[in-house]
């Protein structure tokens, strides 16, 4: 699987909401894809909303959850892949 | 009730210097407590306060509350989506719309879609284009829900005179939509025109589109009229107002009082502020005229609301039992001093215009086509 790099942003047709303080739920208005993110996923999602690139999001994950760089990068890559498949994210060109 | 209020205080004002709640004792009757949260439609607000103490409540109650909060989040997102789609559909036909309550209010008051109990979508459309708006929502897959079935002109005219919205249900998704031609059943209760509010609308970004909603002071006053005409029987409504007022600047609060006087809504605002003081212990508003604090009508309104909070919710719902109708009428009558307002109340009461009662009467007389 090719490594995703660069900037991504939430698809404009996605609405999100915080659930239980540390989780996030997402809905794509057109496809109706509904996605629930746990606390780790929520940090990734909020990082992307804040305009961080993939590498910066992995750094934030490391800071928040005190995990090593490779675990953080792998988690971010896996989640990005899923979010892109569901069209919940788009590349920020 | 005391414990519920403590939880709400923590949820609403925990991050401020307002009094923090004192928690819920472990020996509370949890099923009853969960039912109380539901009765007041505050599960999404209270669950984040209770969640960090999972061992404190029985596992089944914990599961139930977690499930209700999650399902509310999903519902809130779908409603936000529905609101965005409806607004766009109406706009394509050149029909202006303003979102009332629902997802827009959740964002304005709590900054988060899922923090407020998701009921239905309320849209106020340009009243001069109302019939066209109805055709647009019907084409979009909605069907008449209340009043249900086919309409005729007489029925519609009567409904338009005594009510403020038609309710629709989407044929496939089941989503509920209240399409308003005005803000309240009594046209004199909130005397602000659509055009006036449209000119001062606030825009929120939801799902990549801009949704128009009510501006600051008008939003709070609209919510006060909505709560007041229902005697504030659900804490959810009071939470919205308390949080919006608490987070306003001092200048905004001054403007709020001024606007209330301008619209003749001083009793309604005083009731909401005094009730918030009594229930949540939020700071006394120095802006409230001391005469209003002593006004017997305002005191009666606050006392009625305090009773309504603990009474069976069915007494205050749209189809209240006959025994409760007089109390509701008397409450409604006190909200404004204006004579046209009181006359409209009286007409509605004499005609027994409650829920779709008048519709049933008209149906009996006039078969729908």
CA nearest neighbour of B115 among B82, B69, B81, B51: B69
Average pLDDT over residues B327-332: 86
Give long-range contacts, CB 8 A cutoff, 24+ apart: B80-83: B80/A15, B80/A17, B80/A27, B80/B113, B80/B206, B80/B207, B81/A15, B81/A27, B81/A29, B81/A32, B81/B207, B82/B121, B82/B170, B82/B173, B82/B175, B82/B177, B83/B121, B83/B123, B83/B206, B83/B211
Q: What's the confidence (pLDDT) of residue B17?
A: 38
ipTM over 0.90: no
Residue B64, pLDDT > 80, answer yes
Q: Residue B168 pLDDT more than 50?
A: yes
Q: Which among A12, A21, A27 has the least Cβ separation from residue B81?
A: A27
Burial class (CB in 10 A: 0-12, 13-18, 19+), B158: middle
Confidence of residue A42 (pLDDT cuts 50, 70, 90): very high
Q: A23 vs A41, A45, B261, B345, CA distance in Å? A: 8, 10, 43, 46
Least confident of B44-58, B140-154, B168-182, B342-356: B342-356
Residue B219 has pLDDT above 90, yes or no: yes
Predicted pLDDT at A2 = 66
Residues in chain B with CB shorter than 8 Å from the CB of A17 are 73, 76-77, 80, 112-114
Tracing tokens 């989780």 back to the chain, one arrives at A23
Q: What is the rounded average pLDDT for all residues in chain B?
A: 85
Is A20's CB within 8 Å of B77's CB?
Answer: no
Percent of residues, chain B, with pLDDT higher than 70: 88
Q: Quick one: tokens of B98?
A: 């303003």
Nearest C-alpha in B relative to A24:
B73
Mean pLDDT of B75-101: 93
pLDDT > 80? residue B200: yes
The predicted pLDDT at position B80 comes to: 92
In angstroms, the first-to-last Cα distance of chain B is: 49
Beta B176-180 vs B121-125: how paired, if at all? parallel
Name residue B176's beta-bridge partners.
Answer: B169
Over range B203-232, report the average pLDDT.
Answer: 92
On the question of pLDDT at B169 being above 80, the answer is yes
Q: Looking at chain A, which residue has its C-alpha nearest residue B83?
A: A29
Let me know if B146 is exposed, middle or buried by CB neighbors in 10 A (0-12, 13-18, 19+): middle
Q: In the prediction, which pLDDT does B18 show? A: 38
3-state secondary structure at position A8:
strand
Which residues in chain B are closer than 8 Å to A13, comparing Cβ atoms? 207-208
- Cβ count within 10 A of residue A54: 20
Q: B206–A15: do the CB atoms touch at under 8 Å?
A: yes
pLDDT tens across B2-59, in order? 788 888 888 888 744 334 444 666 678 889 999 999 999 999 999 888 887 767 788 8
Residues of chain A with C-beta less than 8 angstroms from the C-beta of B78: 27
- Quick count: other Cβ atoms within 10 Å of Cβ B294? 9
**B151: pLDDT strictly greater than 70:** no
> pLDDT by residue (tens digit) across B268-322?
999 999 999 889 887 666 667 778 888 899 999 999 999 988 888 777 776 677 7
Q: Which helix (H) or strand (E) holds B228?
A: helix B216-229
Closest CA to B105 of B208, B9, B241: B241
How far is residue B104's CA from residue B89's CA, in Å, rounded to a whole number?
Answer: 18
- For the segment A24-37, what is each residue's pLDDT rounded down to a tens digit? 999 998 888 888 99
| Whether the predicted pLDDT of A21 surpasses 60 | yes
Residue B286 has a pLDDT of 65
Span A43-63, mean pLDDT? 90
**Residue A69 contacts B, CB cutoff 8 Å:** no
Q: Best interface-test mutation with B: which of A20, A49, A90 has the largest number of B CBs within 10 A? A: A20
Beta bridge partners, B98, equal B124
Question: Residue B360 — very low, low, confident or very high, per pLDDT cuts 50/70/90?
Answer: low
Spacing of C-alpha B122 from chain mean position: 10
């Amino acid at each position: 699987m090719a490594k995703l790099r660069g900037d991504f942003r939430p698809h404009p047709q996605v609405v999100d909401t915080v659930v239980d303080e540390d989780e996030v739920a997402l809905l794509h208005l057109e496809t109706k894809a509904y996605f629930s993110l746990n606390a780790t996923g929520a940090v990734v999602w909020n990082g992307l909303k804040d305009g961080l690139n993939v590498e910066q999001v992995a750094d934030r994950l490391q800071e928040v959850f005190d995990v090593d760089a490779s675990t953080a990068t792998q988690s971010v890559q896996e989640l990005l892949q899923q979010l892109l498949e569901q069209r919940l994210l788009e590349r920020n060109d | 009730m005391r414990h519920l209020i403590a939880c709400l205080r923590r949820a609403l004002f925990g991050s401020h210097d307002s009094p923090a709640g004192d928690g819920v004792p472990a020996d509370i009757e949890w099923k009853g407590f969960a039912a109380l949260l539901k009765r007041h439609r505050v599960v999404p607000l209270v669950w984040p306060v209770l969640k960090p103490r999972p061992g404190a409540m029985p596992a089944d109650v914990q599961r139930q509350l977690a499930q209700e909060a999650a399902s509310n989040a999903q519902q809130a997102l779908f409603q936000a989506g529905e609101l965005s789609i409806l607004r766009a559909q109406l706009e394509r036909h050149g029909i202006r719309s303003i979102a009332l309550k629902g997802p827009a209010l959740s964002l304005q008051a709590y900054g988060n879609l899922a923090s407020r109990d998701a009921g239905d979508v309320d849209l106020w459309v340009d009243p001069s284009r109302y019939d066209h708006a109805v055709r647009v929502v019907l084409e979009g897959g909605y069907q008449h829900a209340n009043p249900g079935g086919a309409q005729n002109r007489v029925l519609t005219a009567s409904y338009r005179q005594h009510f403020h919205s038609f309710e629709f249900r989407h044929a496939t998704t089941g989503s509920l939509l209240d399409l308003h031609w005005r803000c309240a059943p009594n046209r004199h209760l909130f005397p602000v025109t659509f055009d006036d509010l449209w000119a001062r609308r606030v825009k929120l970004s939801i799902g990549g589109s801009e949704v128009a909603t009510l501006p600051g002071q008008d939003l709070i006053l609209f919510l006060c009229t909505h709560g007041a005409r229902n005697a504030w029987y659900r804490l959810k409504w009071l939470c919205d107002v308390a949080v919006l007022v608490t987070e306003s600047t001092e200048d905004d609060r001054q403007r709020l009082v001024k606007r209330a006087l301008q619209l003749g809504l001083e009793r309604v605002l005083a009731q909401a502020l005094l009730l918030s003081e009594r229930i949540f212990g939020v700071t006394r508003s120095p802006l409230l005229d001391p005469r209003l604090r002593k006004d017997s009508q305002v005191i009666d309104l606050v006392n009625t609301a305090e009773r309504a909070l603990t009474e069976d919710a069915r007494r205050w719902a749209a189809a209240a039992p006959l025994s409760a109708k007089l109390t509701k009428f008397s409450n409604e009558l006190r909200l404004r001093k204006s004579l046209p307002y009181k006359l409209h109340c009286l007409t509605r009461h004499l005609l027994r215009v409650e829920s779709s009662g008048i519709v049933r009467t008209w149906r009996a007389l006039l078969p729908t086509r």
